[in-house]
Amino acid sequence: MEQLGVCLLKIRDATPEDAPFLVKTEKTIAATPGFLVSLPHELSELAFRHKIENLSRISNGKYIVAENNEQIIGHALLEPMGLEAVQHIVRLTIAIHSGHQEKGLGELLMNHLIQWAQSEPTVEKIELNVRASNLRAIRLYQKLGFHFESRIRNRVKLPNGNYVDDYQMGLFLKITPFCLPTVSLSIGKVISSRKAAIDDNWDEVKSGVELDSTQFSQEVFAGIEKFSHVEVIFFMNQVDIRKIETTARHPRNNRNWPKVGIFAQRGKNRPNQIGTTICRILNVEGMTLWLEGLDAIDGTPVLDIKPWVQEFGPRGEVKQPAWMSELMKGYWVE
């Protein structure tokens, strides 16, 4: 038994007899467009019963329910991938039933499954998909150690014809040197008159970083006006991934300049599409920080903002090759 608010909560393995209630609950959840991938008519009691039975028979699968006073108020499962080469991965599904959200039940169910997975030698990683707009769930998954792995564009098509993106997240149970986060949740977006990634003349571009008001309040900018510059870290999401460079190339494809590795230049076709720029602060208006000289186009996701501190500048002599000085001649001014 675990304590949840003033209730005593019991978490137990699901049984086939739970199937009628679970399918009824998921049909209710699925009635809200975009909450589930499945539509209500695509959910069947027989399918739920088979899944519960199948997961109970294998060592690397788990289906649990949470009960309060013998009433099921949430359920979750870990289901292995179907092929032998990916049997070390399990996929997470979790549902908190109506009236029981925002009470810590999701975290209890997740912790229960994570602890089980950590004790199961054949399970090495948990994966999940979450709606990109579901910030409450995303923050919970981050708290429990899940990292962003990709954004799946137009993952779900809603009845009105609009699309919803998903994030794919993963939790490594057995750490290896490359089990590291690669993408962060954006804190806001760029507002700019520039809609295309033009190479030069960025210095006089006035743009803003509009924070996501569901994550932050205006207080997050308190004191920033005492600095003259900030460093903005952003994700160049409109780069054509087919053009991403992982070896060497001529900067701007100019053969008059030497062929150098992607980490010896600041081109946008970078492996992780991360950009950083030091910008002048103009002013703050509500949830928007207005800047001058930000070389990011309109709609670019912003990952972080840091005040520019002199002591973090280069120490000692600064040098760079002649081709870089030539490339940068018109970057800030014409």
Burial 37-71 (b: 16+ CB within 10 A, else e): eeeeeebeeeebbebbeebeeeebbbbbbbbbeee
Same-domain check for residues 17 and 132:
yes
Q: Is pLDDT above 90 for 258?
A: yes
Q: For residue 143, tell me if it sits in a domain.
A: yes
> pLDDT band at 107, cuts 50/70/90?
very high
Tokens of 174: 């057995």
Looking at 146, 172, 198, the residue that finishes a domain is: 172
C-beta neighbour count of 145 within 10 angstroms? 15
Q: For residue 31, tell me if it sits in a domain.
A: yes
Q: For residue 179, tell me if it sits in a domain.
A: no
Q: For residue 183, tell me if it sits in a domain.
A: no
Same-domain check for residues 107 and 166:
yes
Same-domain check for residues 48 and 168:
yes
Same-domain check for residues 84 and 109:
yes
Residue 4: what pLDDT?
Answer: 55
Query: Please, are residues 232 and 305 in contact by the beta-carbon 8 Å criterion?
Result: yes
Q: For residue 182, tell me if it sits in a domain.
A: no
Q: For residue 177, tell me if it sits in a domain.
A: no
Q: Is pLDDT above 60 for 188?
A: yes
Same-domain check for residues 216 and 155:
no
Instruction: Give pLDDT tens digits for 282-322.
Output: 999 999 999 999 999 999 999 999 999 999 999 999 999 99
> pLDDT band at 176, cuts 50/70/90?
low
C-beta neighbour count of 182 within 10 angstroms? 12
Same-domain check for residues 94 and 211:
no
Q: For residue 181, tell me if it sits in a domain.
A: no
pTM beyond cutoff 0.75: no
Same-domain check for residues 153 and 192:
no
Count of structural domains within the chain: 2
Same-domain check for residues 200 and 155:
no
Same-domain check for residues 168 and 222:
no
Q: Domain range holding 298?
A: 188-330
Looking at 172, 207, 232, the residue that finishes a domain is: 172
Q: For residue 17, tell me if it sits in a domain.
A: yes
Same-domain check for residues 264 and 306:
yes
C-beta pairs of 112-119 under 8 Å, 24+ apart in sequence: 112/11, 112/64, 112/76, 113/62, 113/64, 113/76, 113/77, 113/78, 114/144, 114/145, 114/171, 114/173, 116/62, 116/78, 117/62, 117/78, 117/90, 117/173, 118/173
Instruction: Give pLDDT tens digits for 34-85.
Output: 888 888 999 999 999 999 999 999 999 999 999 998 899 999 999 998 889 9
* CATH number, residue 291: 2.40.30.70
